Chains A and B, each alone.
Chain A
Amino acid sequence: MVQTPMRHPPQARTAGHHEGQQHPIRLYLLVWGLLFVLSAASYLVDYMQLEGGLRWSLIVIFMMLKAGLIVAVFMHMAWERLALGYAILLPPLIILILVVIMVLESDYTLLTRLTAFGAR
C-alpha cells in the first residue's frame, strides 16, 4: 500500500474537521498575480489587434492557463484525491464531442443558407 502524503497541517486535523485545505498565503498571492498578468495579456491580444491563428491560439492558451490555475489552486483540485478529480474534470470533456458535431452541422447550415438565400 502506498501511503498518501500528509496534506493537512496539524491545525487543520484537529477536532471538527478532518478534511480542511490549508495552504500558504504566498501561493494564493502568486496565483492571484499570475491571473492578473494572464488577463492583461489576453486583453492586450485584443488591444493590439492581433489577427488569425496567432490571436486564436494566444486566447485559448491564456484561457486554459487561467482556468487551470483557478481549478488547481483556488479550488484545491490539485490536492484532492484522483477519485474526485476524475469524477468532476473528465465528464465535461464530452462537450468537446458536441462541439465537433455542431461545427459540422453549422457548416452544413451555412452552406444551405448560402445556397437557398444567395451568397452575400
Chain B
Amino acid sequence: MTDRTLNKTEPRYTAGLAGFVADWSSDQRAFKNVSWGKAMMWILLLSDTFIFGLFLVAYMVARSSTPETWPNASEVFALHIGGADIPLILIAIMTFVLISSSGTMAMAVNSAYRRARGPTALLMLATALLGAGFVGMQAFEWSKLIAEGVRPWGNPWGAEQFGASFFMITGFHGTHVTIGVIFLLLVAHRVWRGDFDLDRRNWLSRGNGDYESVEIMGLYWHFVDLVWVFIFAFFYLW
C-alpha cells in the first residue's frame, strides 16, 4: 500500500502560507496528509456549494425583480398549535433536529477514531434517524403547502415565483439529506459488522482500524447541515 509506505517516510511539512505555496507547487500531491477520499469529498462538496449557491442567487433574482409582494415566510410556515399560530415553528424544529444530527455525527467521528465500533455505529444510526425525521417533517411541510394551493407556477399569497423557488431549493436539499441517510445506514452497517477492523482492505476501508470513511461520511452530513443554515437564513427568515 502506497499509503502505508507514505506513513513511514512521512516528511515534516512546512506550515503556514509558505507551506501553502510549497504544497501547491510540489510534485504528486497538492493536498499533503489528506487522503484522496477526503480530498474528493471536499471537491464534491465544493461543486455542491456552487449548485446551492446558484439556487439561492436565482431565488434572490426572482424575489428582487418581481413587483408582486413576496409571501411572508413567517406566516406561510406558521403552525396552529394550542389555539395560536406560532410563526415558523416547524422550520425551527427542523433546524434543531438537523443540528442535533450534526452533533451525533461529530461524536460518531470521534468514536470512530477511538475505534469504538459499537458507539460509532449507534451514533451514526442516531444521525440517520434524525435525518429521516427531518425528511419526514419536510414531506409534511410540502403536503401542507400543496394542500393550501402552492404550486411552482403560483400560490394564494403573492409572487408566483415563491413556489418554484421553494420546491427547487428545499427539494434539492431534501434529496441530499435522503441520500445522506441511505449512506449513513450503509456505513453504519459495515462499521457494526466489523468490516473496518478486518486485517485486509475492503470497500470503504483499508482495514486494520482505518475508520476514515466515517469522517468522510461526516463531511457530507455536516455539509447538508451547512446548506440548511443558509436556506434557513435566506429563504425562511429573510
Chain A interface residues toward B at CB < 8 A: 1-5, 11-12, 14-23, 25, 28-29, 31-32, 35-36, 39, 42-43, 45-47, 49, 55-56, 59-60, 62-63, 66-67, 70-71, 73-76, 80-84, 86-88, 91-92, 95, 98-99, 102-103, 105-107, 109-110, 113-114, 117, 119-120
Partner of A46, one of B13, B113, B237: B237
Partner of B206, one of A16, A42, A56: A16
Residues of B within 8 A of A25 (CB): 107, 110
Q: CA–CA, A19 to B38, complex, Å? A: 10
**B232–A70 touching, CB < 8 Å:** no
Chain B interface residues toward A at CB < 8 A: 3-4, 6-7, 10, 12-20, 23-24, 30-35, 38-39, 42-43, 45-46, 49-50, 53-54, 57, 60-61, 64-68, 74, 87-88, 92, 95-96, 99-100, 102-103, 105-107, 109-110, 113-114, 206-212, 215, 218-219, 222-223, 225-226, 229-230, 232-233, 236-238
How many Å from the CB of A117 to the closest CB on chain B? 7
**A110–B222 touching, CB < 8 Å:** no
Partner of A120, one of B23, B24, B67, B113: B67
**A19–B33 touching, CB < 8 Å:** yes
Q: CA–CA, A32 to B27, complex, Å? A: 39
Q: Which of A15, A25, A74, A103 neighbours the largest number of chain B CB atoms within 10 Å of its CB?
A: A74
